[in-house]
Structure 1
């Protein structure tokens, strides 16, 4: 009886670990599934998110608290989708306008370098209170400055939503969900992607619980703008 019990216990434990391990191992590349377009709500409730696994970001600077940060990525015929889940106990987000210096407070960030022949990439930031910073960044040997989009309207606008999670009135984390249309990325090369297309990219988080902490998918230098060390998105 004990042997039978032990056998089933091992099976159950193995199944539980499999469920918890629905995360993609970090190999420096990430395969992005293609899906139809859908609406974002900040909670990641869209059924298409089940088409891909969570990717864990590594906490690089640990002066603050130790938190988990996980992401998912999808793409469609019209744009690319991102979902972040950020464990947190204190939201530091006082800025109440788009295009502010959001990186000075809690924020998630995505960098998309679509064409390796040119030192130009797209950067997107979103705060816990749903304020955004979309910019194009020319980076010449570490000298860079972001440029704001012109005619930022219509099909060039992002769609984004955030959600602050609580349990018993205590903050436990926050989600960021956003859609970046290919129309906004013009005139970058290699856009829109098709099956087999590769983009260099990275995903980040900054948190300010007393002292700042940072997370990234791929390790860069002191600056997030170390684009030559980005990982690679492969569109399926």
Structure 2
């Protein structure tokens, strides 16, 4: 696996659906070795004064998604995920998961040298996801209120983040995808998170 550090600019926008048209898509790759995946996933991100917006565009010819309640174990089935470490120290970060049925999992994670505590009682109030499906293409549109962070981002702010997807295949195998590969089938390796930079102009 490459040890490169992954970085992405998150541009300030006057948000509506049209902002995505001219925004470059960044691919997810195999979480272990960084190789291309069977069903492609592209990610985009932008922000305004009130929200972080994230979009996942997924090829998806086969779907497993039966959970219906917030904080159900969505990671056991098809899901896209976003981890955000505002403080950049790897010890406390937010985990968000979104199912094809628009179910949300959100938790605050304490990770002390690999000893992980997951607080699902914490909810990101106002977090929304809209999932649009057309044939073998699925798009997740996520809106996360910036009020949940200790400091609202401004030009030059950077967070440590990672974007993930779990995609079950027809043969029962599961493909684990990531923006920044972790080197293992383990998403909770904050040292391998990339950097999301907030930029204006």
Q: Name the TM-score, length of structure 2 as normaliser.
A: 0.87
CA RMSD of aligned residues (A): 2.0
In structure 1, which of residues 49, 54, 61 is the aligned counterpart of residue 25 of structure 2?
A: 54
Is 2:126 the counterpart of 1:157?
Answer: yes
1:173 aligns with 2:142: no
Unaligned stretches of 5+ residues in structure 2 = none
Of 24, 28, 43 in structure 1, the residue corresponding to residue 6 of structure 2 is 28
The structure with more strand, counted as a fraction of residues: 2
Of residues 126, 132, 135 in structure 1, which corresponds to 2:104? Answer: 132
Work out which of the residue numbers 187, 190, 195 in structure 2 matches 1:227: 190
1:107 to 79, 91, 96: 79
Identify if the C-alpha distance between structure 1 residues 120 and 93 changes in structure 2 by more than 3 Å, giving closer, same or farther: same
1:6 aligned partner? none
Residues 146, 134 of structure 1: alpha-carbon distance in 2 compared, 3 angstrom cutoff: same
The 1:118/1:216 distance shift into structure 2, 3 A limit, reads: closer
Cα deviation for residue 221 of structure 1 reads 3.6
Kindly provide the CA deviation profile for residues 107-140 of structure 1, in whole angstroms up to 9, marking residues without a partner as x.
0000111112461011110000100011111110
Aligned 1:175-194 pairs, distance under 5 A:
175-185=139-149, 188=150, 191-194=151-154
Match of 1:211 among 159, 168, 173: 173
Which structure has greater helix proportion? 1
CA displacement at 1:98 relative to structure 2: 1.3
TM-score computed with the length of structure 1 as normaliser? 0.75
- 1:145-173 Cα offsets, whole Å, 9 max, x none, are 221355x58xx31121102221xxxxx13
Aligned equivalents of 1:225, 1:93: Cα separation in 2: 22
Count matched residues. Answer: 190
Q: What residue is the counterpart of 1:197 in the other structure?
A: 157
Report matched runs for 1:89-108 at 5 Å: 89-108=61-80
Cα drift, residue 69 of structure 1: 0.6
Q: Per-residue CA shift, 1:73-108, capped at 9, x if unaligned?
A: 011111211110111111110111111000000000
Which consecutive aligned stretches of 4+ in structure 1 deviate over 2 angstroms post-superposition?
59-62
Distance 1:183 1:37 in 2: 17
